[in-house]
Structure 1
């Protein structure tokens, strides 16, 4: 594992260095075995690249490179460089929402500066043979920032009003709120319709594939 990069330039150098490499080559450099598939190793690709790049946040609700304010996001792509799944951002708080503001949220902090790294996601390609693409360092435009804030505030308001179980993945322009749990038994407390506590599945904020697709089209055309 590399030490934490001292600045954004060094982080980008490391990311550019492995563009075109196979995941198995990176794993071999780090002394890590590549799994045969990702069904039982969800998150392995992201963890591998965190090790290579020197991410230090772990599971804490802050950007992967806290001292740089940069979040790392690996995105599986198809043969046309199009993302093939939505991008998980952070857990959504379901209680204790009084006074919570967009500016203080994990979503705002994580999406203020993102290092995107596309990776081949075709399931027919063995994990070790999937290639890493060119990195993209991105910050939201003023319009994107406003839309992200609007989506977040609308979704959080519904959670605060006890409507968490009626929120669908169709809501939100750029962000969506979806169940985020290992299984249907992993329940957590939330605010119910009458203000009392209920048990429900944890929820997570995700960036829509339509947004990351546009982002990649703009930068990798």
Structure 2
């Protein structure tokens, strides 16, 4: 593991030094074995980049670079320069929601400052041959924060009203809520329509691809 960067600038420079390198080259440098694909190793790319960048959080519920308040997000990019999938942000709270507001929410904390690391993601490129792109340090603009807040409040209202089972990936303009678990047998507590406790799959907040695509387009001329 590389030493933890002391400043935002140091982190950005370290991320810039990875741009243009392949995942195979980075894995060799870290003494890691490149898996044949990501089917069983979904988080491998993120872990590899965390190693090179000196991320400290591990699985703790704080930003990856806790001292700097910066979250690391890898984003798989297609040949057209657009994200290939939605971006997981954090698990959604389904119970104990008294006093939760956008201002003090975990998701707002997570998205306050993000280091985006684009990585080639097309399936026909062998994993070890995929290149890392130029990094982007981002904080939501006032407009982006408004969009996120609006969606979050709409989704949280539905959860509080016991409508979690009615929420689909189509709800939300830039943010969506969908099941987040290793398999369908994992269940957690939530509220039913009459306020009664029910069991449902854990849910996660994801950024929709048009949102991340527009963000990348604005900062990189793709």
TM-score where L is the length of structure 1: 0.98
TM-score computed with the length of structure 2 as normaliser: 0.98
- In the other structure, the counterpart of 1:93 is 93
Tell me the equivalent position of 1:35: 35
Q: Deviations over 1:7-46 (max 9, x none)?
A: 0011011100010000011111111111000001011101
Question: Once the two structures are superposed, what CA deviation does each residue of 1:126-169 show, in whole Å capped at 9, x if it has no partner?
Answer: 11110000001111111111111111111111101110000111
Deviation at 1:206, TM superposition (A): 0.3
Equivalenced residue count is 221
* Alignment match, 1:76: 76
**Residues 92-125 of structure 1, C-alpha deviation per residue, up to 9 Å, x if partnerless?**
0110001111121111011111110100001111
Determine the structure 1 residue equivalent to 2:9.
9
CA RMSD after TM alignment: 0.8
Q: Equivalent residue for 1:64? A: 64
Following the alignment from structure 1 to structure 2, what is the Cα–Cα distance between the partners of residues 136 and 95? 34
Deviation at 1:59, TM superposition (A): 1.4
In 2, the alpha carbon distance for the partners of 1:107 and 1:190 equals 19
Match of 1:22 in 2: 22
Moved over 2 A (4+): none
Whole-angstrom CA distance in 2 between matches of 1:36 and 1:95 = 39
Shift of 1:219: 1.1
Please list every run of 5 or more consecutive structure 2 residues that lacks an aligned counterpart in the other structure: none
Whole-Å Cα distance in 2 between the matches of residues 194 and 56 of structure 1?
42
Query: Deviation of residue 181 (structure 1)?
Result: 0.9
Give the drift of 1:173. Answer: 1.1
Q: Gaps spanning 5+ residues in structure 1: where?
A: none
Query: 1:46 aligns to what SS in structure 2?
Result: helix
Tell me whether 1:207 sits opposite 2:222 in the alignment. no
Q: Within 2, Cα distance between the matches of 1:51 and 1:186?
A: 30
Task: Please state how far the C-alpha of 1:66 moved relative to its aligned partner.
Answer: 1.1
